[in-house]
Amino acid sequence: MKKFDRSDKIVALLIILIPIIFVIVGIIFFPYDPIKKEEITIDFIIIDSILFTGLFLLLAGFLLKKQGLSNMIKIAGWILFAFFWATQTNTLYYGEDGDFFNAGLCIIGVFVLFYFIYWEWLTISNRKQINCLNWAAGAAAIAGLIYFTIDLSPLQMMLREIVASQSAALLNIFTGDVYQSGVLISWADANISIIFACTAVQSMVLFVGMIVPLSNVDIKRKLIGLTVTLIPIYFLNLVRNVVVVYLTGVYGHEFFSTAHNIIGKGGSLIALVVLLFIVIKFIPEVFDEIICISDLPKEGGPIELFVRKHILRKK
């Protein structure tokens, strides 16, 4: 892609400015309110409507085979999906006891989603289809629809109680004197409530989203890929919960943030990377899609050409 018209350059500029505006609006106008979080408010309905509309648009764009129309539908879906995440920064930070890791990923994610929008636009104007963009839309739609549907249903509380019960039982094997009531686990000085993020559904739907949309992989290999990831993820998540409760009980509640946000999430990240390599062994097509996404900057759009000409050359 070498030739770009004025509209391409305008879109490139907007791709940089709009996510900045989205993030600022999200931080200022969507503060975390633990009381309202448990209520069905107008804000709640509007944000969730934006979320699911965006996800269904991404799914429709993924399924449609007509180039141009499919790209435009996915662009609309990515915009709505990005706006939803821009409104979640405060919730991810304050709602999870100062979790800077997830809050930071949320902000970065808004810019990444707009980068997809940028390339969807360039595929329209240059009539060059990039297949991994369609895979990304399918992955986001499938994973998002599963996760957020569970999150808004009674199944969420059921899963939290099941995970709390199994985590408590596992910890009790090693320590004894563990008490569990509903989603609350108590041991020594620790009183830890299992939230939805502690059920590992996020990590599991991530792999479901990566594997299911692959059009050139048969069902048998997809089932193998899901089996070698979902079962280990669920068990390792129980181990993570046990470690967090144990460390908090030993070192006091002030150590919870370190145990949960640094040790727990760090261990989870390492486990996910290992499982990703295992999936790639069985389904190398996943690796091809990921590499295709990571190679998008090499395609040379207006933003990339500007960076190479005015920034990298100066260095």
Q: In this predicted structure, what is the pLDDT of residue 7?
A: 79
> Taking the model in full, what pTM does it have?
0.91
DSSP 2: -
> Average pLDDT in the 289-300 region?
91
Q: In this predicted structure, what is the pLDDT of residue 10?
A: 86
Whether residue 148 contacts residue 44, with contact meaning beta carbons closer than 8 Å, is answered with no
- From residue 82, how far is each of 15, 32, 37, 87, 130 by CA, in Å? 12, 18, 20, 9, 21
Domain annotation covers residue 135: yes
Domain annotation covers residue 234: yes
Domain annotation covers residue 16: yes
Beta bridge partners of 184: 181, 193
**Residue percentage of the chain with pLDDT more than 90:** 73
Q: What angle do CA 305, 133, 51 make, to 5 degrees?
A: 110
Domain annotation covers residue 301: no
Q: What angle do CA 94, 17, 145 make, to 5 degrees?
A: 55
Q: In this predicted structure, what is the pLDDT of residue 97?
A: 67
Residue with tokens 């992989």: 217
Range of 66-70, 74-78, 302-306 with top mean pLDDT: 74-78
> Average pLDDT in the 39-54 region?
87
For residue range 264-288, list pLDDT tens digits in order. 989 999 999 999 999 999 999 999 9
Examine the domain organization and report whether 135 and 189 are in the same domain. Answer: no
Q: In this predicted structure, what is the pLDDT of residue 1?
A: 45
- From residue 256, how far is each of 89, 188, 244, 245, 261 by CA, in Å? 21, 13, 7, 8, 8
Examine the domain organization and report whether 158 and 212 are in the same domain. Answer: yes
> Average pLDDT in the 13-23 region?
94
Examine the domain organization and report whether 244 and 174 are in the same domain. Answer: yes
Examine the domain organization and report whether 194 and 121 are in the same domain. Answer: no
Q: Does position 128 have pLDDT exceeding 90, yes or no?
A: no
| Positive or negative torsion for Cα 102, 169, 228, 280 | positive
Q: In this predicted structure, what is the pLDDT of residue 38?
A: 59
Examine the domain organization and report whether 148 and 158 are in the same domain. Answer: no
Lowest mean per-residue pLDDT among 30-39, 141-150, 199-208, 296-305: 30-39
Q: Which of 121, 152, 183 is the last residue of a domain?
A: 152
Whether residue 89 contacts residue 107, with contact meaning beta carbons closer than 8 Å, is answered with yes
Examine the domain organization and report whether 114 and 159 are in the same domain. Answer: no
Q: Which of 123, 152, 181 is the last residue of a domain?
A: 152
> Average pLDDT in the 222-245 region?
97
How many domains does one find in the chain? 2
Examine the domain organization and report whether 89 and 14 are in the same domain. Answer: yes
Examine the domain organization and report whether 124 and 159 are in the same domain. Answer: no
Q: Which of 152, 170, 201 is the last residue of a domain?
A: 152
Among the listed residues 276, 296, 294, 299, the one whose alpha carbon sits nearest the alpha carbon of residue 286: 276
* Phi, psi for 185 (deg, rounded to 5): -115, 130
Q: In this predicted structure, what is the pLDDT of residue 165?
A: 98
Domain annotation covers residue 291: no
Examine the domain organization and report whether 17 and 104 are in the same domain. Answer: yes
Q: In this predicted structure, what is the pLDDT of residue 308?
A: 79
Q: Does position 310 have pLDDT exceeding 90, yes or no?
A: no
Domain annotation covers residue 287: no
* Phi, psi for 191 (deg, rounded to 5): -130, 95
Q: In this predicted structure, what is the pLDDT of residue 39?
A: 64
Domain that holds residue 20: 1-152
CA distance 147 to 291: 25
Examine the domain organization and report whether 2 and 144 are in the same domain. Answer: yes
Examine the domain organization and report whether 26 and 123 are in the same domain. Answer: yes
Examine the domain organization and report whether 98 and 181 are in the same domain. Answer: no
Lowest mean per-residue pLDDT among 59-68, 122-131, 206-215, 303-312: 303-312
3-state percent breakdown (helix, strand, coil) of the chain, nearest 5: 80, 5, 20
Q: Give the 3-state secondary structure of residue 179.
A: strand
Chain-centre distance for alpha carbon 157: 20
> Average pLDDT in the 70-84 region?
97
Tokens of 64: 């449609």
Domain annotation covers residue 231: yes
Q: Does position 2 have pLDDT exceeding 60, yes or no?
A: no
Among the listed residues 101, 90, 91, the one whose alpha carbon sits nearest the alpha carbon of residue 263: 101
Domain annotation covers residue 75: yes
> Average pLDDT in the 222-235 region?
97
CB atoms within 10 A of CB 170: 16
Q: In this predicted structure, what is the pLDDT of residue 302?
A: 86
